[in-house]
Chains A and B, each alone.
Chain A
Amino acid sequence: MRRRAVLGYGAAGVGAVALMLFVGWWQVDGPGGPEPVGQRPVALTEMDFRLTDHEGNAVGPETLIGRPTMAFFGFTYCPDVCPTTLSDISGWLDDLGDEADEMNVVFITVDPERDTVETMAEYVGYFHPAIRGWTGPEEQIARVADGFRATYERVPAESGDYTMNHTASVFLFAASGRFVTMIDYHEPKEFAVPKIRRALEEEMEGAT
């Protein structure tokens, strides 16, 4: 009898611990997690920068207003993180299907020295057709990153070349330009797609 009672408590204990762990995960890393304080990008309407898209069009934050936006930073000489993020985004867009048609998807280079307009055009051509590639003068890239509260840094590589450390999160903005949330690097699809839907839904609320 006694032994059974102990077993009973034991099972309840395991359940309670599992619940605590789940709640902890949800609040810290999961969808319930808060955005890091002081790290939130400003609204697109408060940003000011001039870049060129991969088709040679002049673009800026105003280009993005009116449609929800998914934006991220990278560079085309990036062997691991950037193609992975671009592939992830392509997969999310495929999942969203028609829903994603009215969305801006922008890949902004942090390596304008190597990523010319032509280079960006060739590179984005390998991924989902909705993805636009933006580049521009270094000081303009710096202004974009500042508005997004993103960082990047040029680091010499052993090969004699250089690589770029950079913010790998994907940023989501509502059609109004308001920042909604971000998708961390390698966040599972089950979290990423609902976050994108949140940005898409804000558009509808704003429109009514």
Chain B
Amino acid sequence: MKKYILTGTLAALLTLGGLSVPALAGPEDVVVENAWSRASIGMNRPGAAYMTIRNTGDEPVTLIGLTTPLAMMPEIHETKTNAEGVSSMSPAGEIAIAPGESVALEPGGLHAMLMRLQEPMTEGDTFPLTLLFDDGGEVTVEVPILGIAARGPED
């Protein structure tokens, strides 16, 4: 059986709050680290969230989708920049992560695209984002919302 663990900011928050991490965790072989997103201007524009997803187990895992109360259409997207310097963005499809490997969602590459926001993304807030895997496993991570000009999880 695959196990999924939640780490990073949420774990820290939960620990500080005196809650135990396993209360929210599903299977424990998938670890999500350094999740972050940028604040939005209003609700008309799509948002984007970033994180590192690590498979610490012995079997491959496949990320097949996302859900969040924040957005009606969350989806993993990939930005590509061609030889002419033109950037485009499209759904990335399923993402397989081999045992011991990790996948980085970071600016200019993969991102969790948050389409049809249900509320504005406000700096300082967080929102829950659930990663869905092909074996039915789920991991929910609490994503901090940083400033619009944030460059990474540390900003």
Contact = CB atoms under 8 A, between A and B. Distances in A.
Interface of A: 36, 39, 76-77, 79-81, 83-84, 86-88, 90-91, 122-123, 126-127, 151, 155, 157-159, 161, 163, 165-169, 182, 184-186
Contacts of B47: 79
Contacts of A163: 89
Classify chain B's interface size.
20 to 34
B88 A165 contact: yes
Contact of A185 (B77, B81, B113): B81
Interface of B: 38, 41, 44-48, 73, 75, 77, 79, 81, 83-89, 91, 107-108, 111, 113-116, 147-151
Contacts of A159: 46, 73, 115-116
A23 to B, nearest CB: 21
A170 to B, nearest CB: 10
Which 3 pairs from chain A and chain B are nearest by CB? Answer: A79-B48, A168-B87, A84-B107
Contacts of A87: 149-151
A77 B83 CA distance: 24
Nearest to B150: A87
Which label, helix, strand, loop or mixed, suits the secondary structure of the B interface? strand
30 contacts: A77-B44, A77-B45, A77-B46, A79-B45, A79-B47, A79-B114, A80-B89, A80-B108, A80-B113, A83-B38, A83-B148, A83-B149, A87-B149, A88-B151, A91-B151, A126-B147, A126-B148, A157-B115, A159-B115, A161-B46, A163-B89, A165-B86, A166-B87, A167-B84, A167-B86, A168-B81, A168-B85, A185-B85, A185-B87, A186-B81
A80 B115 contact: no
A84 B151 contact: yes
B129 to A, nearest CB: 14
A145 B2 CA distance: 51
Contact of A81 (B108, B116, B148, B151): B108
A84 to B, nearest CB: 4
A39 to B, nearest CB: 7
Contacts of A123: 41
